[in-house]
Amino acid sequence: MTSDETTNSPASRGADLAASADAVRVAVVRHEVDDGHLDLFVGPAAAVGAGADPDARVVRSWRLPLAAWDAASEGLACGRFAATETEAHRAEYLTLAEPRELSGGRGRVVPLARGAGVARGELVVTALGRELRLARSGVGAWAVEITTVAEGAGKGQA
């Protein structure tokens, strides 16, 4: 197993998910480190399954506040939240099913949700019963608008 360290810069991965494929995989984990936060992972569907390299750093990721998770519904909370894009992560994070301790004192990640979805245009993702619109709000800063989608649209579980 290789290190969990990330090495690619967000800019080196291209500007939009739809350029590589419309079908995506999405995962949300609670990252238990310091005050804690959520990590949102979005990567091409081809990064998961037979022949896929779980160590390939093809997954875009954003750090979200804990408030973006609704524990009562066990899903993403609707609303607008600040987000910070982080370095590329390994494809393995799209299928993480069990809590995992990270190396180097970087805390622990606990999977909350994962599934299949569709990317449209510049970072609009429909998955997990939600539509996520990610937009840059400044240098290194992003905002994510999370809204409910019609029952059955964009849903999928791993």
**Residue range 77-123, pLDDT digits in tens:** 999 999 999 999 999 999 999 999 999 989 999 999 999 999 886 68
The residue among 33, 96, 29, 92 whose CA lies nearest residue 64 is 29
- Where along the chain do its domains lie? 17-148
Question: What is the model's pLDDT at position 8?
Answer: 37
Looking at per-residue pLDDT, the higher value among 11 and 92 belongs to: 92
- Please state the pTM of the whole predicted model: 0.79
**Both ends of the chain: CA-CA distance in Å?**
22
**Which residue type is seen at 33?**
V
**Residue range 33-74, pLDDT digits in tens:** 988 999 999 999 999 988 899 889 999 999 999 999 999 999
